[in-house]
Amino acid sequence: MKKIFKITAIVFFMSSTFLNANEGMWLVSLLNKMNEAEMKGIGLNLTKEEIYSINNASLKDAIVRLNYGMCTGEVVSNKGLIFTNHHCGYDAIQTLSTIDNNLLLNGFCAKSRNEELPINNFKISFLVRIDNVTNDMLGVVKAEMTEAEREKALAAKSKEIAAANNENGKYEVEVKSFYYGNEYYIMVYQTFSDIRLVGNPPESVGKFGGDTDNWMWPRHTGDFSMLRIYADKNNEPAAYSKENIPYTPKHFLPVNIDGLEQGDFTMIMGFPGRTSRYLTSYGIEQAVEIRNPALIECFGTKLDSWKSVMDKDPQVRLMYAAKYASTANTWKYYIGQTRGLKRLDVKSDKEKIEQDFNKWAASSPELKQKYADVLKTVKEYYTEWDPFVKASTYSSLTGISGAEFMNFTSRMSEEIIQILNKPDQTKRNEELASLLPEIEEYFKEYDANTDKVVFVNLTNLYRERITTNRPTWHNLLDKKYKGNVNAYATKLFETSIFTDKNRLLEFVKKPNLKTLNKDLAFIAASSSSLHAMNFRSLNPAQKFSKGMRTFVAGLREMNPEKTYAPDANSTMRLTYGVVHDYKPADAVQYNYYTSAEGIMEKRDNNNPEFVVPDKLASLIENKDFGPYANKKGELPICFIHNLDITGGNSGSPVIDGDGNIVGIAFDGNWEAMSGDIAFEPNLQRTISVDIRYVLFIIEKLMGGKNIVDELKFVHKSTKVDPTVIPVIDLPAPVVNPKSNKNSKKIK
């Protein structure tokens, strides 16, 4: 029977996420009627209040921030069990591993609470509430202020607001800028520090495909790990104690193992780190032509240096596994971003926006006065800063952010000098003693021989690329060591107090400035730090901040019918869309999910990136999938959907229309790596691991039936037919409000 629908439904269909990805990482407290209409039209069965509420349990109470925005996790049981990505727990798993008991390589699964392993220096935070404080913040800004005066006034007000909302230290409060300083919101968090490792798959599952498959589709990676939050007897945050008990959450996510099909609604809630969607064409040109090539070369040199040692030494391979994985991810990201910006000609798209803006800004005397020179100001910033970007980037990534000892020496020496300048001897001794745990912790994950290779290779790279305006320690290198970097490095690593734990511990017992000032690591690090400060003084950043703040305000005023999502800034956001295949290139069509068959097709046990353990291979070959197979009898591994995520979203739950978890997000796709700057609706896809594969690995491979039994299972409701255009009345366009009143209500 033919479907009859309203004209408004056609408009909705054309603008909805059925055909195109929905750009926007939406602040969860500000979901508007347009968001709600779109979401309900494609399968959401929840209300805004069930997604975000400060008065009742809601989805936000099951979403957690890991280590202040490094990743996202989700509560999946009433006993504080957390699912996140394997790579989000990677560093903790590596730290708990030894050569004889390599949890990273072999996997780990606690069969009881007593077997769960405490993790040092790991924080998990729940969002309590979001408040609009725009009026309070901008109330201290005066028209006659310089940018420096404005920043100082805003910083002072931010500190005041945070203190007024932390309830005597119970909460952590952050004041966040949105739309380049046009709006401000506070984020109130409750943070837990007693976190324990519950389990992780072997690296052959959690990192299957390695660097080769990273950012790629099709994918067959079981990218998950499991943590648990512990609290005191009152269910409040507490330091680690054997007396602590599993945290009882306000809300947790039930598990839907019925799976997903093309066109099914999905949404992701999490803490995306950073996007630059308002970047101008001038910024894109700088990234493509100057900054990114330098970043790629520096990161690549560091990776090659690490790998040359890791391949020879199993202990170093384990010690540097997390560092290598993180840097490799960043290195490949910038390669993909540069490729995408060029291939998709994003600069031309930005130029069109800027042309339209300038035409609009010139359309009336009032607009001309406010916005006529805005893009000129932004362009001036890049014109003034571009000549220094290459040298600044190489200087930073081969200097203070290069070899590990450089940053450590800079931080540690600064602390020591501050302590030595204090008049009270007793106080000095106490504060010097307080440095000892930091020193012990640093050297647990440090290998001097490896760092020497990095230092030599990065310094040689820097000297090849930058021939003038070098840090002053290069004068010593040229004069005393005849430019021989290896000779300088050999002397440094043989004598410096900052490259050997015992030497540093002895120094801290009896510190003196004479020894410090003669130390080669201190000379290199302090010189590099000063050099970086000089570059910062050359950066006309205040011109950029003023120009972009005004430009973004103008864009929103120019298009009042459009609701602009603010750039990601490690605050809780929601993105929504549908499960969707895509066409990456001519004559190529990608399916929306992968299956265990693909694991066996990729299997190569001579290649460490594609090892398939015998037990897993046997389970797949025998189709021993238990209840986790789909209707075709396949074991689903990963799926793609057209949502808008970025770094920080790693580990975020993929949630169905009823509020159940169906997967865990872990990556984006190679063809849309420029998406942090320019969203590509036809190409942009989020890659997520299917919750059924996660549970299959936990139960069948890891023997974690006790964990599976802890979860709550549900079945999905009737799906929206993706071939039928939904009948829906759209609300009137949402106009950007000129007023920014403080409110705790969802708008």
Q: Do 577 and 697 sit in the same domain of this protein?
A: yes
Does residue 117 have a pLDDT over 70? yes
Whether 2 is covered by a domain: the verdict is: no
Distance of alpha carbon 262 from alpha carbon 328, whole angstroms:
32
Active site residues: 87, 223, 650
Q: Do 394 and 496 sit in the same domain of this protein?
A: yes
Q: Do 459 and 485 sit in the same domain of this protein?
A: yes
Task: Give the pLDDT band of residue 715 (cuts 50, 70, 90).
Answer: confident
Long-range contacts, stretch 699-702, CB < 8 angstroms, 24+ apart: 699/626, 700/619, 700/624, 700/625, 700/626, 701/107, 701/201, 701/202, 701/205, 701/613, 701/615, 701/616, 701/619, 702/107, 702/109, 702/199, 702/201
Q: Which of 665, 742, 664, 659 is nearest to 57 (CA)?
A: 659
pTM listed for this prediction: 0.91
Apex 611 CA angle, 654 and 72, nearest 5: 25
Mean predicted lDDT score pLDDT of the chain: 92
Whether 405 is covered by a domain: the verdict is: yes
| CA 322 centroid distance within chain | 15
- Residue finishing a domain among 174, 192, 210: 192
Structure confidence at residue 717 (pLDDT): 55
Whether 432 is covered by a domain: the verdict is: yes
* 386-413 average pLDDT score: 97
Q: Do 254 and 133 sit in the same domain of this protein?
A: no
Whether 494 is covered by a domain: the verdict is: yes
Q: Do 663 and 526 sit in the same domain of this protein?
A: no
Q: How many domains does the chain have?
A: 3
Does residue 533 have a pLDDT over 90? yes
Whether 637 is covered by a domain: the verdict is: no
Task: Give the pLDDT band of residue 7 (cuts 50, 70, 90).
Answer: very low
Q: Do 178 and 236 sit in the same domain of this protein?
A: no
412-471 pLDDT tens trace: 999 999 999 988 888 999 999 999 999 999 999 999 999 999 999 999 999 999 999 999
Q: Do 155 and 173 sit in the same domain of this protein?
A: yes
Q: Do 138 and 112 sit in the same domain of this protein?
A: no
Q: Do 375 and 501 sit in the same domain of this protein?
A: yes
Is residue 267 within 8 Å of 661, Cβ to Cβ? Answer: no
Distance of alpha carbon 498 from alpha carbon 510, whole angstroms:
15
Q: Reply yes or no: is the peptide bond before residue 731 cis, omega within 30 of 0.
A: no
Domain of residue 176 covers 125-192
- Residue finishing a domain among 517, 538, 559: 538
Q: Do 135 and 236 sit in the same domain of this protein?
A: no
122-145 pLDDT tens trace: 999 999 999 999 999 999 999 999
Structure confidence at residue 335 (pLDDT): 97
Whether 533 is covered by a domain: the verdict is: yes
Whether 23 is covered by a domain: the verdict is: yes
Whether 467 is covered by a domain: the verdict is: yes
Q: Which of 486, 447, 480 is nearest to 463 (CA)?
A: 486
283-294 pLDDT tens trace: 999 999 999 999
Q: Do 498 and 356 sit in the same domain of this protein?
A: yes
Q: Do 205 and 164 sit in the same domain of this protein?
A: no
- Residue finishing a domain among 538, 555, 581: 538
